[in-house]
Structure 1
Amino acid sequence: MLSRSLTFPSLADFWQLGKPRVVALIVFCAAVGILLAAPPPADWPRLLLALCGIGLVAMGAAAANCLFERDRDAVMRRTAARPLVRGRLGQFEAAGYAAALTVGGLWLLLQFANPLATGLTLATFFGYAVVYTRWLKPATPQNIVIGGAAGAMPPVLGWAAVSGTIPAEAAVLFLIIYTWTPPHFWALALYRRDDYARAGLPMLPVTHGAAFTRLSILLYSLMLFAVTLLPFVIRLSGWLYLAAALWLNAGFALRAWRLYRADDAQGDALARGLFRFSIAYLTWLFAALLADRVVQWLW
């Protein structure tokens, strides 16, 4: 067997370090923010490059997260196969990769967007990779509530790339993702609570127990139901989005209610199902926003 010093990381290792599935959802939400800001067709090539910049910085932040959390990842089953944990990548390689992606993405934003979008993207990188990962996550069970602000920024970044402003419409999109984040992550933490306990992370199920976490998920799902109606209220969207939001929220709230009513034996399976549904939920909710806008354009 070759030693670590004689092996070379593959492109797949670097690709995995950037958490491509998570970044794909980030880029999609940023793209929806761009399109809802209604840029003229002549700006689309420029904004596509700006969107690439947002994606590169997101991958850089993900790589930095993996670098900072490599010791915790090693004791968690969910993350034990990551390249840094397995030794397929070294710390200097990961740091260089994260820095190159981040600098490259910020350069694209500065060239093809504007200073506001660039500054907000840099602040988002710092908020996730440093404030959340290094400070909040190991310090408080409210880590995901406070740190969720960084994860809710993609549509704001997209809108700012178009207009150089942050209007109320962009703030509503931010609020949707911000409210969605706690029940999404707490569902994961419920069925992975032993992992988080071994890693010494004070996630809500570890510090306050499963029953309290299930109640918190239910309450946040009801808040999310209300928040996702705001695009219709402020006339950012129309009836198509409203119908989709009502349907998706009914599914989210029903799953949260079943999880709340479940005992510990059933809870893990229901939490896993809610976590998976929550990813599809956000994707389809933002797709409905976009589809609604397309319908308005056609009419």
Structure 2
Amino acid sequence: MTLPTAVPSMVWGWKELVGLCKIKVVAVMLVCTAVGMALATPGLPPLTSVILGLVGIGLASCGAAAFNHVIDRHLDAVMTRTSRRPVASKRLPVAIALGWACLLSAAGVALLAWQVNHLTAALTFASLIGYALIYTAFLKRATPQNIVIGGVAGAAPPLLGWVAITGQITAEPMLLMLIIFAWTPPHFWALAIHKRDDYARAGIPMLPVTHGIPFTRLQIWLYGWLTVLTTLLPVMIGMSGALYLFIVLFLNARFMAWNWRVWRGQDPTAPIGAFWFSIRYLLGVFGALIIDHYTAALIW
């Protein structure tokens, strides 16, 4: 008598659904969003607007991350760094992941339109499309400049936060957006050097794969200086003062020290070290903006 062969069932739960959301990445984005909210007003922004804005933008960001898991599942399965992701490892059905992405995205944008303002909802939706479709589905596979062009969507959080409070787009949040836009290439290219073989195996045209590691190291050095210049702009336009300048000069020195180590190419651990430090650097710059903003408010 032949017994039927058991077919392994796909077991999934909340752990896999939460794993689609890239919680750590979204957390950094929400910090930048909150800074945009705080800087939008001389005093404290309305608590209700802050909470609803962060929840709506956070939900939409989680939805965009989930779309990324679905669209990139075949690439993720090839790469060591991403092969254990829920969809790539087939622990979570594609249909469930896609439904979860749609639910999170729709809930976030709807909440913003209903309780915050329509401009914030529209900009959040545009950022979601920019990341999930334009970057993930097209740019990532099409050009080594994927990070540069796609960085526009990733740089949006402080603009979204500002607009959630004011309902207007002005020069100040665009400047904050510019800081993240300039910071993004050296941040991701450092990781791309460290994981070059992974990207090459998956056929993703990251800069170290298409142009080589020495060229990428130079670009990290140059974009690092561009990032430094953008962090000085808040002082130049009177948005921030001496305290911010003091903190950011220290952070810039550390940031460029790491980029110098990457550029020299003598330390194989420098790229991944620069990648991790760049996250602390960005949070430090935005933290300095907040400290300076409220210190100035107390003094005056």
TM-score if structure 1 supplies the norm length? 0.95
Residues 235-244 or 177-186, more deviating: 235-244
Give the match for residue 134 of structure 1: 137
Matched, 1:97 2:117: no
Tell me how many residue pairs correspond in the alignment: 295
Matched, 1:241 2:244: yes
Residue by residue over 1:35-75, the C-alpha shift from the partner in whole angstroms, topping out at 9 and shown as x without a partner, is: 11017657321331111100000000000001000000001
Structure 1 residues 52 and 209 mapped into 2: Cα distance closer, same or farther (>3 Å)? same
Look up the equivalent residue of 1:146 and give its one-letter code.
Answer: I
Matched, 1:159 2:162: yes
* TM-superposed deviation, 1:2: 8.0
* TM-superposed deviation, 1:81: 0.9
Q: What CA distance in whole angstroms lies between the structure 1 residues aligned with 2:174 and 2:135?
A: 21
Q: What CA distance in whole angstroms lies between the structure 1 residues aligned with 2:253 and 2:7?
A: 53
Give the match for residue 183 of structure 2: 180
Give the match for residue 201 of structure 1: 204
Look up the equivalent residue of 1:206 and give its one-letter code.
Answer: V
Q: What CA distance in whole angstroms lies between the structure 1 residues aligned with 2:265 and 2:105?
A: 43
Q: What CA distance in whole angstroms lies between the structure 1 residues aligned with 2:211 and 2:134?
A: 23
Structure 1 residues 43 and 190 mapped into 2: Cα distance closer, same or farther (>3 Å)? same
Residue by residue over 1:127-162, the C-alpha shift from the partner in whole angstroms, topping out at 9 and shown as x without a partner, is: 000000011010000000000000000000000111
Residue by residue over 1:99-142, the C-alpha shift from the partner in whole angstroms, topping out at 9 and shown as x without a partner, is: 11001101110122111111000000000000000110100000
**Is the partner of 2:280 in helix, strand or coil?**
helix
Give the match for residue 36 of structure 1: 39
Residue by residue over 1:150-200, the C-alpha shift from the partner in whole angstroms, topping out at 9 and shown as x without a partner, is: 000000000011111111100100000000000000000001000000000
Matched, 1:52 2:59: no
Unaligned stretches of 5+ residues in structure 2: none
- Provide the aligned C-alpha RMSD in A: 1.5
CA contact (8 A) 2:185 2:223 kept: yes
Give the match for residue 260 of structure 1: 263
* TM-superposed deviation, 1:210: 0.4
CA contact (8 A) 2:179 2:227 kept: yes
Look up the equivalent residue of 1:278 and give its one-letter code.
Answer: S
Q: What CA distance in whole angstroms lies between the structure 2 residues aligned with 1:110 and 1:2?
A: 48
186, 195, 210: which is aligned to 1:192?
Answer: 195
**Is the partner of 1:84 in helix, strand or coil?**
coil
Q: What CA distance in whole angstroms lies between the structure 2 residues aligned with 1:280 and 1:41?
A: 25
Structure with greater Cα Rg? 2
CA contact (8 A) 2:26 2:58 kept: yes
Same amino acid, percent of matched pairs: 49
Q: What CA distance in whole angstroms lies between the structure 2 residues aligned with 1:141 and 1:22?
A: 22
**Is the partner of 1:284 in helix, strand or coil?**
helix
Give the match for residue 272 of structure 2: 272
Unaligned stretches of 5+ residues in structure 1: none
64, 74, 85: which is aligned to 2:88?
Answer: 85
CA contact (8 A) 1:47 1:112 kept: no
Q: What CA distance in whole angstroms lies between the structure 1 residues aligned with 2:78 and 2:45?
A: 50
CA contact (8 A) 1:4 1:88 kept: no
Look up the equivalent residue of 2:240 and give its one-letter code.
Answer: S
